[in-house]
Structure 1
């Protein structure tokens, strides 16, 4: 995460909403002295006693898959819009180029899901993403041939990252004057970053 406090987001509900809106995350881990990266869509779980988890699945051919049973620590990074910011867009002199972006980072232990949790993950993930396609009638596995879903499950492994640390960076030129920020927003036009800057 960016070290500047002005860009840091620590409000849990804000961060969970961000991850729900950007659920395709990058998972980074160092296992056996080697760095690994995987990408996967997640379902956010708010569990008992205030605990939070990110449920996801990996192909059994993924380099991280063999380590899930023994467990490993990982960081999941969700990213949103980003944009290059030219110094020419500021009203102030002697500025340098920078990049505005939004991201959330969750760190914790990854362990396997139970069979029931794994099925629930796949159903919930489909429902989560099908809902984004409304008014389309949602797809469900009931449309699959008998036995096909179970056969396909054998090629993947269900995982849960139990979140111990959750924080984000919403770098939206908060360290600049209102005039300089307005110049960036104007130059970005209809870019999604401009909308985020207007709302911050």
Structure 2
């Protein structure tokens, strides 16, 4: 994560909760077959625990149980032009972003744990996308559900280290921050501009 302490925001609990709200992670592990990355939905299952699932056909699947892993979760991000600063001629291009790394040990879930992970995933996100008609497992044919279940594997990540970066121009004067916010909005990065406003409050 970024070494500048100005970009460290939030305690571990808040960062884990934020990562779970984003709901999607890049999973990085070192294996005997080399470095591997998987991409998976995540849900928080305890104060320092997350669960996720991957396809059994994913090449990372056989390496996960018992492995050390980093789950990298990214939020709003975008390019920052030197032209947005008052003294742009003496600045360099950079990137503003929000990200969290969650490091720990992975353990396989049994079938009940995998089903619970899928139910929790739907419960967390269905109300956001389809509040009037959320998907629940009872809508699905049980035979079909069990067949699909056999194609995926669930895991639990027990988080032991949390590292977060909220790089939102906190090291710049207020005037430059305002110009960066305006530039981000004009370039289609409204979510990042909003994040900058919130961190400045």
Asked if Structure 1 and Structure 2 have the same fold, meaning a TM-score greater than 0.5 normalized by the shorter chain, the answer is yes
* Paired residue secondary structure (2:193): helix
Give the secondary-structure state (helix, strand or coil) at the position aligned to 1:131: helix
1:64 partnered with 2:60: yes
Give me the whole-angstrom Cα distance separating, in 2, the residues matched to 1:17 and 1:152. Answer: 29
Residue 112 of structure 1 corresponds to: 108
Give unmatched runs, 5+ long, in structure 2. none
Segments of 4+ in structure 1 off by > 6 A?
Answer: none
Q: Say whether 1:73 aligns with 2:72.
A: no
Name the TM-score, length of structure 1 as normaliser.
0.92
Determine if the alignment matches structure 1 residue 82 to structure 2 residue 77: yes
Change in 2 beyond 3 A, CA 1:33/1:63: closer
Partner of 1:96: 92
Maintained 8 Å contact 1:10/1:166: no
Q: Does 1:37 align with 2:34?
A: no
- TM-score w.r.t. the length of structure 2 is 0.91
Tell me, in whole angstroms, the C-alpha distance in 2 between the residues paired with 1:41 and 1:155: 16
Aligned residues: 195
CA distance in 1, matches of 2:96, 2:110: 40
Contact 2:13 2:48 in 1 (8 A): no
Within the candidate set 122, 130, 142, 2:118 is matched to 122
Which structure 1 residue ranges, 5 or more long, are not aligned? none
CA distance 1:10–1:33, shift in 2 (3 Å): farther
Contact 2:119 2:136 in 1 (8 A): yes
Give the 3-state SS of the residue equivalent to 1:174 in structure 2. Answer: coil
Instruction: Specify which structure has the higher proportion of helix.
Output: 2
**1: distance between equivalents of 2:10 and 2:33?**
30
What is the CA-CA distance between 1:136 and the residue it aligns to? 2.5
Partner of 1:4: 4
Q: Return 81-90 or 115-124, whichever deviates more.
A: 115-124
Matched residue of 1:84: which SS?
strand
* Aligned partner of 2:143 among 137, 141, 147: 147
Does residue 175 of structure 1 match 2:175?
no
1:146 deviates by 2.8
Deviations 1:90-120 (A, max 9, x none): 1135111100000111001111012221111
RMSD value, Cα: 1.5
